[in-house]
Amino acid sequence: MRLATPIGFATEVFLQEAPDPALLPEGPWTLVGDLHLREAWTRAGLPEPSHALWVAVSEEEKKLRTILPWLEHWARVPLHRDATVVALGGGVLSDMAGLASALYLRGIAWQVWPTSLLAMADAALGGKTAVDLAAGKNLVGAFHSPRRLVACTSFLASLPERHLENGRWELVKTALIQGETPWAAEMLQDGPVKVPWVERALAYKAGVVHRDPREAGERRLLNLGHTLGHALEAASGYDLLHGEAVGLGLLGSCLLAEDLGLKPFPPAFLASLARRLAPLAPMVAPWSACLPLLHRDKKARHAPGATEDAPATEIHCILPRFGEPAIQRALAPEVWESPHARLVDLLHREAPRA
């Protein structure tokens, strides 16, 4: 099923149960796929180019050095400017293959076939491609939209429960951005992730990306939960999955918004968030480990009036409000200290009921 997207949107979006070879590129193409999915790909009757790359990548390998051999391989094939790269995998592989496609011959076309809920719900759509530096996540990247996104829910059947839960947080994020608290509460209940939730999230993100492709304004809202989340993810040594870190960041954002006097969320809703996140408590790094990472956040900038002798940093933060759309504010990294402490306390308080 092809989803409705804004007229002129750069990416065709398909959401369906089983993969369809008719959705592969018509011209010359190659594949970069998650090695663990090779059997599922061929079992589905999908073609495998002789020069396909089957790789195993993790967040720790999301570096420029990992994609350089891919570029050398494409040059040896050789791939020309009329070729298309098909990326098959989760959010990490999608980010890396998209960036490699942006760099090769100054940009060739690519398709993304996301196979994790996290990638389907968020990472695969929007053209933000990147790799990490030692200083922080996604600090080297490019905007390079895929020509087509093909999300096949049959690929989710092989995912461990933790990875399904990991993707759920990007869906909850979408609800909180829009102030759709009842939808967020529904997704926090026990039970499987529903395909209409994914469809709804994709439709919302497509609209935002179309209106603000370069993240100059509205698109920044999609970073809800990512400021504290990215710091927690990196400080954990990436023991936290990205979506898990975003979930913790969502709870922290709700608490920060309350600290700043915005419309607070009911204690019962915050407790339900904390209850679902409570198993992650042992992986939450102390505040002292998070603050330096917040200062290096890719959304950080020098605050107005800062000097070399008295530097100051502020981060573009997204703050959710109960029953109302989220808002944007530039804040000092230090404001996250109290929400971090309250978050840890809430997690430990809800752990017995998790």
Q: Point out the residues that are catalytic.
A: 106, 128, 170, 205, 215, 219, 223, 226, 230, 242
- Element (DSSP H or E) covering residue 237: none
Between CA 12 and CA 294 the distance in angstroms is: 35
Strand-pairing partners, residue 254, are: none
- Residue 102, SS3? helix
Q: 152, 113 in Cβ contact below 8 A?
A: yes
- Specify the 3-state DSSP secondary structure of 131: strand
The residues, ordered by sequence, that sit 6+ positions from 352 with a Cβ below 8 Å of its Cβ are: none
CA–CA distance from 179 to each of 171, 208, 264, 271 (Å)? 13, 15, 12, 18
DSSP states along 64-95: HHHHHHHHHHHHHTT--TT-EEEEEESHHHHH
* Residue 50: burial class (beta carbons within 10 Å; 0-12, 13-18, 19+): exposed
Give DSSP secondary structure letters for 46-72.
----TT-EEE---GGG-SHHHHHHHHH
Q: Positive or negative CA dihedral for 338, 300, 144, 238?
A: negative
- Measure the CA dihedral 258/259/261/266, to 10°: 20
Which of 54, 109, 101 lies closest to 74, judged by CA? 101
Compute the distance between CA of residue 314 and CA of residue 299 in angstroms, rounded to an integer. Answer: 8
DSSP state at residue 123: I
Q: How many CB atoms lie within 10 A of CB 254?
A: 27
